[in-house]
Structure 1
C-alpha cells in the first residue's frame, strides 16, 4: 500500500450512514491536507443510503467546529459503482464497512480499500467507533482518532 500512496490524487472516506464518521474524516482531512499544501480530491460516502442528502449529524458538526473544521457542502450519499474506479484510495472507518465495500467492489479495485486507522500512530484502535448512539464524548474521540490517522496518512502522501 505504501508504494502506491505517492500516486494518490483522490480519497473516499466511508462509514455506514455517512453522517458521523466519514464526513468528520472528510472535513478533518480536507483541512489538514490544505494546511500541508497537499492537493487531493476528498469525498465521503456511506455503505447504506439511509441518510442520502442529509447534512452531517449536528453533534459531529458541533465537535468538529469546536476544533476549526468546516462541514460546509458535505451531504450524505451512498457509495456508487463509479467510486471504485474513480477514487485512488477508499478508506473505511471499520471492518464491517470494509467487508460491505468488498462485497460490491469490482475485483480489480478491491486493493484500494483499507481501514482508515491503519494510518494512525497514537492509538491502538483499529476501527473508528460509531458515536451515533452515544454522548458528546464519542464524537470528540472520533475526532481524536481521525486527526491522528489524517496526520499519518498525509505524512505518507508527501
Structure 2
C-alpha cells in the first residue's frame, strides 16, 4: 500500500484529523484528505484543531481540498466517515468501489451505520462533546486500520 485517501464532507473536521493520525502511524505511506463538499482553502475547524493538538497532533497547516476523481483513482485505499459516504462515492465512482471503505468499519459495537461499522458523525457547528466523540472514534478507526495495513505489509 502506497497511498491512502481520507474523505469527509467539508474536509475541515474529521478527515484532516484522520489524515494526521495516519501520517504519524504510517510515515512511509502517502496519506491525503479531501471533502465531498469541501470548504476550499479553509483551515481546520478550531475545535477539531484544539482537540487534535491536545492529543499531540498538529493540523494547523491544513487547508480544505475538494475531492476529485483522480484522487480516488490514485489511492490504494479510500476511507470515509459514514456508510452514506461510502454508498454515495461508490455510485459516483464505480471503478473505485472496491477500495472505498469506512474508517469505523472495524470498530466495536455501537451507533452502527451498517453491520459492523460505526459511523463517525460530523461534529461541525456542534458541541465540544461532539468533537471529542468524533476524535475518539477517528482514533479507534485509525488504530484498527493501521493494525490491518501493517499485517499486510
Same fold, judged at TM 0.5 (above): yes
User: 1:99 Cα deviation (Å)?
Assistant: 2.4
Which of 69, 88, 92 is residue 76 of structure 2 equivalent to?
88
Which of 39, 44, 47 is residue 56 of structure 1 equivalent to?
44
Distance 1:13 1:56 in 2: 15
User: 1:147 Cα deviation (Å)?
Assistant: 1.0
Q: TM-score, normalised by structure 1?
A: 0.84
Q: Please say if 1:22 is aligned against 2:15.
A: yes
> RMSD between aligned alpha carbons?
1.5
Higher relative contact order, structure no. (Cα contacts within 8 Å, ≥ 6 residues apart): 1
Q: Which residue does 1:76 correspond to in 2?
A: 64
User: 1:33 Cα deviation (Å)?
Assistant: 2.4
Structure 1 unmatched ranges of 5 or more: 1-7
Structure 1 stretches of 4+ with a deviation exceeding 3 A read none
Distance 1:140 1:114 in 2: 23
Question: Is the contact between residue 13 and residue 122 of structure 2 (CA under 8 Å) also seen in structure 1?
Answer: yes
Q: Which residue does 2:115 correspond to in 1?
A: none
Q: TM-score, normalised by structure 2?
A: 0.87
Distance 1:33 1:120 in 2: 19
Count matched residues: 144
Distance 2:69 2:26 in 1: 26
Structure 2 unmatched ranges of 5 or more: 112-117
